[in-house]
Structure formats: C-alpha cells, structure tokens
Amino acid sequence: MIWFGGQLPDEAYLRDSFGRGMPGFLDVEFVSVDEGALTIRMPVNEKVHQPFGRLHGGASVVLAETAGSVAAAFCVDPSQFACVGMEINANHIRPVRDGFVYARASAEAIGRTTHVWSIRITDEAERLVCVSRLTVAVIPIDRK
C-alpha cells in the first residue's frame, strides 16, 4: 500500500476536495481509490474544448496534474510535507468531443523528496486519450 499510514485516503474527504480552484472550475470529481492508484474524472464540454470542439490538451494536463498531485499528497505526512508539481509531460493520443474522461494516477517511484507518477487518461469506452508523467517535489510544509 502506497498511502501514508497504510490507510486508504478518506473517500468522503476526496469527494469534497475538488470544488475549489481549477479542479472546481473544470468540474473534476473523485471516482475511486485503491491500494495503488487514484482515479478522477472530468466532463468534456465547452469549458474544456479547443476551437475545433475537441478536448483541449491543456485540460488533459490539468486533469493529469490534479490526479498525480492529489495522489502524491496522500503518500506523505500532511502535517510535515506538501507535494507540488515539478515537471509534467503529456502525449495526446485520441480526441474526445463529449462525455467524461478518467485519469488514473499510479506511482512509479515514491521517494523522500520526489515522486514520479504515471497518469493514463481514458474515455468512457476505456480507450487511451492521453498518457502523462508527473514529477512531484515533496517539500517541508513551512516552505509551501
């Protein structure tokens, strides 16, 4: 189990966490958490379309960084550390025009000062839309 204290993150807390900031603006929602991954989703609508009516690549990156950063935060002691994005990349594979996209973040490496997360974004038919990798810095809470 990758989560801090050997406990799954609290699902009620996760459901209530996405209403603020960018995730709230894009209507990102918690879906599930298991022993090694966190899954969230985002509706594909006019908020996240590029001019041609397809999912904007930047919205996919926002979804990927949200999934990885939230997951990373649950792998450290929150009274001592904060997790912040350091680098992200994304390969956009397939267009999406509507429905939902799902981001599943799983850890590649969880270190003392950095984490590396893989995030796979899929559509409702479970086809790969975007694959992303996020590097997260783990910093002392007084530096955030």
> Active-site residues: which are they?
65
State how far the Cα of 39 lies from the Cα of 121, in Å rounded to an integer: 9
State the burial class of residue 113 (Cβ atoms within 10 Å of its Cβ: 0-12, 13-18, 19+).
Answer: exposed
Contact 122, 140 (CB under 8 A): no
How many residues are recorded in the chain?
144
CA atoms of 88 and 83, how far apart (whole Å): 14
